[in-house]
Structure 1
Amino acid sequence: MQKLLLGLFFILPLFTYSQYNISGVVLDENSGEPVIGATVELQKTEKIAVTDLDGKFSFSGLPQAEYTLIISSLGYGTRTVKFSLPGEETFEILLSPTAIEIEEVIVSTPFHQLQSDNVMKVERATVEDLNRTGALNLSEGISKIAGVETITTGSGIGKPVIRGLSSNRVLVYTQGVRLENQQFGDEHGLGVSSSGVESVEVIKGPASLLYGSDALGGVLYLNPEKFAPVDSTQIDLAGNYYSNTLGYEANAGIKTSGENLKFLVRGNYAAHSDYETGNGNRVTNTRYDEWDLKTGLGFRTTGYSGDLRYNLNSSRTGIPEEIGEQSTSKEFQEPYQQVENHILSLDNTFFLKNASLDVKLGYSFNDRMEFEEEHEEEHEEEHEGETEEEHAAHEEGEAALEMHLETLNYDVKYNFPRYGKFETIIGLQGMHQTNRNFGEEFLIPDATTTDFGILATSHYHLEKVDFQAGLRYDHRNIDSKAMGEIGSEDFRSSLERSFNSYNGAVGMKVDLSRQLSSRLNLATGFRAPNLAELTSRGSHHGTNRYEIGNPDLENEQNYQLDLALEYRNVHFEVFTNAFYNKVSNYIFLSPTGEIIDENAVFEYVQDDAELYGGEAGFHLHPHPLDWLHIESSYELVIGKKENGEYLPLIPAQSVLNTFRTEFKDNGWLNEAFALVSLKTVFDQNNPGNFETWTPGYSLLNAGVGNTFYWNSTALELRISGNNLLDKTYISHLSRLKPDGIANMGRNIIFSTRLRF
Structure 2
Amino acid sequence: MIRYQLVSAILVVGSSLPFAYADEIEQKKTVTQLNKISVESTQETVLEPIDISTSTHLAVDKKDKERNGTASLGASLETLPGVNNLGSGSQSGKPVVRGDTSLRLPVLSNGVAMEYQAEGTRHNPNVDPALMEKVEVIRGPQGLKYSSQAVKSAVNVEGLQLDYAAPGETRTSGALMGEVNSNNHETMLGAKAKYSSNGVAVLGGLTKRKGENVVSPQAAEAGAVKPGDPAGSKPLVTGTIPYTNFEGQTAVFGVGYLGNWGSVELHHSLWESKQNYLGVEADPAGYELIPSAGQKLKNEETQLKAEIFQGDWVIKPSYAHTRNQREAMHDVAYEQMSAYENDPEYLDLVVHRNDYQLAVEHPDFKGWSGEFGVSFLDKDQKLRSGHLSPSATENGTGIFMVEKQTFGQWDVEIGGRYDSHRVKAPLSAENAHFWDETQVYDASNNERTFSDWSGALGLAFHATPNWTFTGNVGRSFRAPSVFELYASGAHGGVQAYQVGNPDLKAETSINTELAAVWQSTKLHSSLSVYSNWVDNYIVLENTATELYCDHEGVCQTTQSLAFPYRKMINAQTNALIQGVEWSAKYQMTAQLQWRATAEIMRGRDTKHDRELPLMPAHNATLDAQYTFKGLDGLKQPYVGLGTRYVAEKKAAGLYEPFSQYDNLPFGTASTSDYWLWNLSAGTGIAFDKQTLWLDLTVENVLDTPYRDFLDTYKGIALGMGRNFKLNARMPF
Asked if residue 595 in structure 1 is aligned to residue 543 in structure 2, the reply is no
Equivalence for 1:122: 57
| Separation (CA, whole Å) in 1 of partners of 2:315 and 2:515 | 32
Cα distance change, pair 490–131 in 1 and its aligned pair in 2 (3 A) = farther
Equivalence for 2:723: 747
Equivalence for 1:505: 456
Cα distance change, pair 323–487 in 1 and its aligned pair in 2 (3 A) = closer
Equivalence for 1:580: 531
| Separation (CA, whole Å) in 2 of partners of 1:462 and 1:669 | 49
Structure 1 residue 346 displacement after superposition: 1.5
Do the aligned residues in 2 keep the contact of 1:484 with 1:492 (CA within 8 Å)? no
Which residue among 192, 200, 219 is the counterpart of 1:253? Answer: 192
Cα distance change, pair 208–131 in 1 and its aligned pair in 2 (3 A) = closer
Equivalence for 1:166: 101
Structure 1 residue 116 displacement after superposition: 2.3
Q: Which amino acid aligns with 1:410?
A: Y
| Separation (CA, whole Å) in 1 of partners of 2:343 and 2:200 | 44
Equivalence for 1:477: 422
Alignment of 1:194-213 (within 5 A): 194-204=129-139, 209-213=144-148
1:406-440 deviation digits (Å, cap 9, x = unpaired) = 1100222111111242113111122110000111x
| Separation (CA, whole Å) in 2 of partners of 1:462 and 1:663 | 45
Structure 1 residue 255 displacement after superposition: 1.5
Equivalence for 2:371: 425
Equivalence for 2:624: 659
Which residue among 560, 567, 573 is the counterpart of 2:518? Answer: 567
TM-score, scaled relative to structure 1: 0.79
TM-score, scaled relative to structure 2: 0.81
- Percent same amino acid among aligned pairs? 23
Cα distance change, pair 492–393 in 1 and its aligned pair in 2 (3 A) = farther
Do the aligned residues in 2 keep the contact of 1:175 with 1:223 (CA within 8 Å)? yes
Cα distance change, pair 434–372 in 1 and its aligned pair in 2 (3 A) = same
Q: Specify the SS of the correspondent of 1:340.
A: strand
Cα distance change, pair 215–422 in 1 and its aligned pair in 2 (3 A) = closer
Cα distance change, pair 395–198 in 1 and its aligned pair in 2 (3 A) = closer
Alignment of 1:93-108 (within 5 A): 99-102=45-48
Structure 1 residue 590 displacement after superposition: 2.1
Q: Which amino acid aligns with 1:317?
A: Q
Equivalence for 2:401: 456
Alignment of 1:379-394 (within 5 A): none
Q: Specify the SS of the correspondent of 1:168.
A: helix
| Separation (CA, whole Å) in 1 of partners of 2:140 and 2:614 | 17
| Separation (CA, whole Å) in 2 of partners of 1:393 and 1:653 | 45
Q: Which amino acid aligns with 1:246?
A: H
Cα distance change, pair 132–323 in 1 and its aligned pair in 2 (3 A) = farther
Asked if residue 411 in structure 1 is aligned to residue 357 in structure 2, the reply is yes
Do the aligned residues in 1 keep the contact of 2:69 with 2:179 (CA within 8 Å)? no
1:238-293 deviation digits (Å, cap 9, x = unpaired) = 21111001111101122111130011111000100010001151111100001100
Equivalence for 2:671: 694
1:432-457 deviation digits (Å, cap 9, x = unpaired) = 10000111x12111111011110112
| Separation (CA, whole Å) in 2 of partners of 1:136 and 1:448 | 31
Q: Which amino acid aligns with 2:308?
A: F
Asked if residue 521 in structure 1 is aligned to residue 472 in structure 2, the reply is yes
1:12-63 deviation digits (Å, cap 9, x = unpaired) = xxxxxxxxxxxxxxxxx999xxxxxxxxxxxxxxxxxxxxxxxxxxxxxxxx
| Separation (CA, whole Å) in 1 of partners of 2:369 and 2:142 | 19
Gaps of at least 5 residues in structure 2 are 1-26, 219-237, 283-289, 551-562, 660-668
| Separation (CA, whole Å) in 2 of partners of 1:175 and 1:149 | 22
Equivalence for 2:245: 287
Equivalence for 1:51: none
| Separation (CA, whole Å) in 1 of partners of 2:307 and 2:473 | 30
Structure 1 residue 207 displacement after superposition: 7.4
Structure 1 residue 375 displacement after superposition: 11
Asked if residue 297 in structure 1 is aligned to residue 255 in structure 2, the reply is yes
| Separation (CA, whole Å) in 2 of partners of 1:322 and 1:228 | 50
Equivalence for 2:276: 318
Which residue among 667, 677, 681 is the counterpart of 2:646? Answer: 681
Q: Which amino acid aligns with 1:484?
A: A
Do the aligned residues in 2 keep the contact of 1:133 with 1:703 (CA within 8 Å)? no
Do the aligned residues in 2 keep the contact of 1:78 with 1:102 (CA within 8 Å)? no
Cα distance change, pair 207–524 in 1 and its aligned pair in 2 (3 A) = farther
Asked if residue 535 in structure 1 is aligned to residue 493 in structure 2, the reply is no
Q: Which amino acid aligns with 1:137?
A: S
1:346-368 deviation digits (Å, cap 9, x = unpaired) = 22111111121122211111010
| Separation (CA, whole Å) in 2 of partners of 1:214 and 1:30 | 42
Q: Specify the SS of the correspondent of 1:534.
A: helix
- Aligned pairs, how many? 634
Gaps of at least 5 residues in structure 1 are 1-28, 32-76, 81-92, 104-114, 325-331, 377-391
1:665-690 deviation digits (Å, cap 9, x = unpaired) = 97544243332110000111463444
Equivalence for 1:488: 437
| Separation (CA, whole Å) in 2 of partners of 1:515 and 1:621 | 16
Q: Which amino acid aligns with 1:363?
A: H
Structure 1 residue 749 displacement after superposition: 1.0
Equivalence for 1:724: 701
Cα distance change, pair 532–397 in 1 and its aligned pair in 2 (3 A) = closer
| Separation (CA, whole Å) in 2 of partners of 1:470 and 1:303 | 29
Equivalence for 2:6: none
1:368-409 deviation digits (Å, cap 9, x = unpaired) = 001334799xxxxxxxxxxxxxxx998669980000001100
Structure 1 residue 498 displacement after superposition: 0.3
Cα distance change, pair 401–268 in 1 and its aligned pair in 2 (3 A) = same
Equivalence for 2:322: 364
Cα distance change, pair 323–569 in 1 and its aligned pair in 2 (3 A) = farther
